[in-house]
A and B are shown apart, each in its own frame.
Chain A
Amino acid sequence: MKYTVVLNGCSRNIYSQAEETASFVAENLGSAPPGRCILFYSDAQNKEELIALSPAESLLLVKVKQRDPEYYLSLLTGLLQNDTSSLYLFPGDLCGSELAIRLAHRLGGSSLAAVEKIEEDGEELHCYKTVYSGYLRAQLSLRQKPYCLSIARGGDTRRCRKAVKVLKFEELDATGFEKGSPLGEPEYEEEANGGLELEEAPFILVAGQGVNSREKITRLKEIAAEMGATFGVSRPVAMSAWAPLHSLIGVSGVITRPQLCIAVGISGAAAFFAGIEKSKYIVAVNIDELAPLVQSADVVVIDDYEAVLEELCRLIKEQPSLP
């Protein structure tokens, strides 16, 4: 199956975009002919670094003046009018998932977001993804080419990625492309860390709705810093504005993959659990023995989280070398 990967090099999460798509290609398209990558970038990025990230041997670098989905979509629609790829792959981040769905419509194909695995079967493409808020896995079959898919985030990128040498390299300067977006150029406001620090952290402390006040969330954030952990929260905490949006973990936020995750006051809804599922080791601290997370953690403390965390923090700080 002829495929094309589309990456957004203007976003600071380009490394996880590249890793996840490369891993997906290796797992699902190993026997397909070498694919192509279209990578958007601007003057602010290091071109050599971006070239090294290509998950395909053929690379088209497209220099852009805007970095919003509506603009990328207009560009792609023009670029791909005569393209013969059967499959377009996008990263599973906000931008990639939007592009996959909308591009399929414009190219007369079919689409799905957050796909974990694919199998080609004659005239259909079987896609596997989580549904029902992450509690179930569905097989959904697409019939109409081109297939435009975004990849489920948090895929296993720890497997050794086969180095891809770019054999065919082209550049396109699209900075003069004036019919880009009907919305005009948006103002971009960078977030200090975005979710990137959390995404790559080896040790995280996560607080949920059981931590029921802004003051207690602030104290847990301090404890996380003292223990050497990166702090995150579940959706209800972020929706109460007790922590910034970029610290939200789960399907609608950051997908983490730490070595160690301590989850405090979290019931364990599947949409949250998807954000810590890739953790190598999960500790749950909860007063409620029946919370679903109790069954999904490696080790569990059923007790008052405040006393447990204060003591745990003291013990970790006493050690000569902090993480």
Chain B
Amino acid sequence: MIAMNILVCFKVTPDLDQLPPDGWEVDRAALTVETSFVKAMINPYDESALELALRFAEDAPGPVKLTALTVGDRSADRYLKMLYALKFDRAVRLETGADLRFTPEGIAAAIAAFVSRNPHQLIIMGRQSGVGDNAATPLLAAEKLGWPCIAHVTEIRSLQEDLLKVRAQADDGFLSYAARPPLVAAVGNVPHAYLRVPTLKERLGVREKKVEIVAAALPAEEGAGCTLTGLDVIDRRRAGLKIEGATPQEKAGALYELYLKERLAKL
């Protein structure tokens, strides 16, 4: 039986929620934000994508080969090593040296070029990541490859050797597909899909494995992309009036009498 090759794309991002509200400083000339001191993490949607791929491989009736791919600098290597420990067969990093913000066209093209040199039947990746907030990369990767795409995926299972069951969130319900590869699955909100943690033994077992580093130039955007021309901090402050009181009950009473009673009556 021929193995199904699955490519799982992920991105290492700064955990932006760790920045305090007054910690956002924009360099207006360079249009950059200093986030290097913030803890890095795997983009949460990509984390779900990686975990869904591992579950798929465990339950599939036939052999599955998993490749983890990221586009970025060497800060991603420790995550790639961890994915080796979680039984990914290949861990690949495309090194571009470029500013990767707001470049979904370029990243999608780099992914498509990798797949054209390294055939895969299924690509799984998170639907979006925090910096660009545009949810475009998986969709554009599918378009560039000429593959169908299912977005907002919550479940991927193997029905039989060459048939997948894919469940996806829609705006007012769910859509379930019986789909044949090739396919791009853009993973959305998936409850209970946090990436598993490898054991120490699993980590030690892959100590000598090397991350595959491939030099890649981001293809020219050919006018289809967008150019960042401005960046500003959003001020969301409101009054923030604090309710005083000796006990929670007293505070609840004051909140109700002073601020809610009248508003509730008008609803």
**Residues on A close to B: CB < 8 A?**
8, 11-13, 67-70, 93-95, 97-98, 101-102, 104-106, 108-114, 126-127, 129-144, 181-184, 186-191, 194, 196, 202-203, 228, 235, 238-241, 245, 248, 251-253, 259-260, 267, 269-271, 273, 277, 281-283, 292, 294-304, 307-309, 311-312, 315-316, 319, 321, 323
Q: Does B228 contact A (CB under 8 A)?
A: yes
Residues in B lying within 8 Å of A, measured CB to CB: 16-17, 19-21, 24, 26, 33, 102, 130-136, 139-140, 142-144, 148-152, 154, 168-179, 183, 188-194, 223-234, 236-243, 247-249, 251-253, 255-256, 259-261, 263-267
In the complex, how many angstroms separate the beta carbon of A197 from the nearest chain B beta carbon?
11
Roughly how many angstroms separate A162 CA and B248 CA in the complex, as a whole number? 47
Instruction: Please give, as numbers and ranges, the residues of chain A lying within 8 Å of B170 by CB-CB distance.
Output: 11, 67-68, 94-95, 188
Docked pose: A302 CA to B237 CA in angstroms: 17
Residues of B within 8 A of A98 (CB): 135, 139, 149, 151
In the complex, the answer to whether B242 meets A311 with C-beta atoms within 8 Å is no
User: Could you say which of B130, B151, B259, B261 contacts A69, with CB atoms under 8 Å apart?
Assistant: B151
Q: A11-B172, A303-B251 are in contact. Are A315 and B178 (CB under 8 A)?
A: no
Cross-chain contact A308 with B226 (CB below 8 angstroms): no
Q: Are A135 and B233 in contact (CB under 8 A)?
A: yes
Bound complex: CA A296 to CA B241 (Å): 10
Contact between chains at A315 and B179 (CB < 8 Å): no
Chain A's nearest CB lies how many Å from the CB of B209?
A: 31
Contact of B171 among A94, A303, A309, A315 (CB under 8 A): A94
- Whether B171 pairs with A13 at a CB distance below 8 angstroms is yes
Which residues of chain A come closer than 8 Å to B242, judged between CB atoms? Answer: 299-302
A contact residues around B144 at 8 Å (CB): 105
Contact A248 B189 (CB under 8 A): yes
- Chain A residues with Cβ below 8 Å from B224 are 104-105, 108-110, 144
Closest A residue to B257 by CB, please name it: A315
Q: List 30 A-B contacts (CB under 8 A).
A: A11-B171, A101-B140, A102-B139, A105-B224, A109-B224, A110-B225, A112-B134, A113-B134, A126-B229, A127-B226, A137-B231, A137-B234, A138-B228, A140-B227, A144-B224, A181-B148, A183-B148, A186-B177, A188-B170, A190-B173, A194-B171, A203-B264, A203-B267, A239-B192, A239-B193, A245-B154, A296-B236, A299-B241, A307-B249, A321-B265
Closest to A244 in B: B191
A130 to B: closest C-beta gap in Å: 6
Main secondary structure of the interface of A (DSSP, over half): mixed
Take A129-B133, A191-B172, A240-B192 as given contacts and tell me if A70 and B148 are in contact as well, using a CB distance cutoff of 8 Å: yes
Q: Which residue of A lies closest to B24 (CB)?
A: A135
Most buried by B among A11, A126, A303: A303
Residues of B within 8 A of A235 (CB): 189
* Cβ–Cβ < 8 Å partners of A253 in chain B: 189
Q: How far is the CB of B157 from chain A (nearest CB, A)?
A: 14
In the complex where A260-B260, A300-B240, A311-B248 touch, is A134 in contact with B229 (Cβ < 8 A)? no
In angstroms, Cα B133 to Cα A137, docked, is 11
- By a CB distance below 8 angstroms, the chain B residues around A240 are 191-192
Q: How far, in angstroms, from A11 to B139 measured CA to CA in the complex?
A: 21
| Contacting pair B173 A111 (CB below 8 A) | no
**Partner of B231 from A105, A108, A136 at Cβ < 8 Å:** A136
A114 engages B134 (CB within 8 Å): yes
CB-based nearest A residue for B230: A139
**In the complex, what residue of chain B is closest to A259 when comparing beta carbons?**
B267
CB of A112 within 8 A of CB of B226, answer: yes
A228 and B266 alpha carbons, distance in the complex (Å) = 13
Measured in the bound complex, the distance between the Cα atoms of B247 and A55 in whole Å is: 52
A132 and B131 in contact (CB under 8 A), knowing A126-B229, A188-B175? Answer: yes
Name the contact of B176 in the complex, choosing from A130, A189, A248, A251 (C-beta under 8 A). A189
A301:B231 contact, CB within 8 angstroms:
no
- Could you tell me the distance between the alpha carbons of A184 and B229 in the complex, rounded to whole angstroms? 41
Q: Is the CB of B148 within 8 A of A196?
A: no
The answer to whether B134 and A260 have CB atoms under 8 Å apart is: no
Provide the residues of chain B in CB contact with A11, threshold 8 Å. Answer: 170-172
Known: A238-B189, A245-B169, A315-B256. A323 touches B241 (CB 8 A): no
Least CB distance from A193 to B in Å reads 9
Q: Is the CB of B189 within 8 A of A252?
A: yes
A253 to B135 Cα, complex, angstroms: 14
Q: What is the bound-complex CA distance between A202 and B17, given in angstroms?
A: 28
The answer to whether B133 touches A296, judged by C-beta atoms less than 8 angstroms apart, is no
Is the Cβ of A311 less than 8 Å from the Cβ of B252? yes
Query: Which residue of chain A lies nearest to B239 when distances are taken between CB atoms in the complex?
Result: A298
The smallest beta-carbon distance between A245 and chain B, in angstroms, is: 6
Decide if A130 touches B133 in the complex (CB within 8 Å): yes
Report the Cα distance A296→B242, complex, angstroms. Answer: 12
Closest to B154 in A: A245
A214 to chain B, nearest CB (A): 12
Bound CA–CA A98/B184 (angstroms): 13
Q: Contact at B227–A141, with CB atoms within 8 Å?
A: yes
Q: Are B139 and A101 in contact (CB under 8 A)?
A: yes
Q: Is the CB of A136 within 8 A of B17?
A: no
**A212 vs B235: C-alpha distance in the bound complex, in angstroms?**
29
Q: How far is the CA of A323 from the CA of B15 in the complex (A)?
A: 39
